[in-house]
Amino acid sequence: KAGVTQTPRYLIKTRGQQVTLSCSPISGHRSVSWYQQTPGQGLQFLFEYFSETQRNKGNFPGRFSGRQFSNSRSEMNVSTLELGDSALYLCASSLFRPGANVLTFGAGSRLTVL
């Protein structure tokens, strides 16, 4: 069974640019969540999608956005990049049913902003 696939794995951008990251969940998983991981702030929740709808959002500025497609694949976008956006962006998928909180994470997309 294939795991959570994130692309690209590594990317370098400059300030002011925008970036789009992609996530393919485990087959059958309908919930996709995104997290930002930095040495200073640790792992922080960005947002969660289920059935193409955003169910929950973390405390990040509007420059961070996402969407989910009908096949459960998800993308997140960061516009007007800042140096502080350099981080490992992790996608996690899960079954969406009561009591099933188990998140399976991908390896992440490491973004460096210069």
Partner 1 sequence: QQQVKQSPQSLIVQKGGISIINCAYENTAFDYFPWYQQFPGKGPALLIAIRPDVSEKKEGRFTISFNKSAKQFSLHIMDSQPGDSATYFCAASSSVERGAQKLVFGQGTRLTINP
Site membership for partner 1, residue 114 (CB under 8 A):
no
Residue 45 lies near partner 1 (rule: CB under 8 A): yes
> With CB under 8 A, what is the number of residues at the site for partner 1?
27
The structure tokens 């169910």 sit at 55
Between 11 and 103, whose beta carbon lies closer to partner 1? 103
Among 99, 111, 113, 114, interactor with partner 1 by CB under 8 A: 99
44 binds partner 1 (CB under 8 A): yes
Per-residue CA distances from 98 to 94, 95, 101, 102 (Å): 11, 9, 8, 11
List 19, 21, 25, 31, residue binding partner 1 (CB under 8 A): 31
Q: Does 101 bind partner 1 (CB under 8 A)?
A: yes
Q: Which residue, chain included where needed, has tokens 């997140």?
A: 76
Q: Would you say 106 and 88 are in contact if contact means Cβ atoms under 8 Å apart? A: no
Question: Which one among 42, 53, 62, 70 touches partner 1, defined by CB under 8 A?
Answer: 42
> For residue 73, what are the CA distances in angstroms to 31, 66, 103?
9, 11, 15
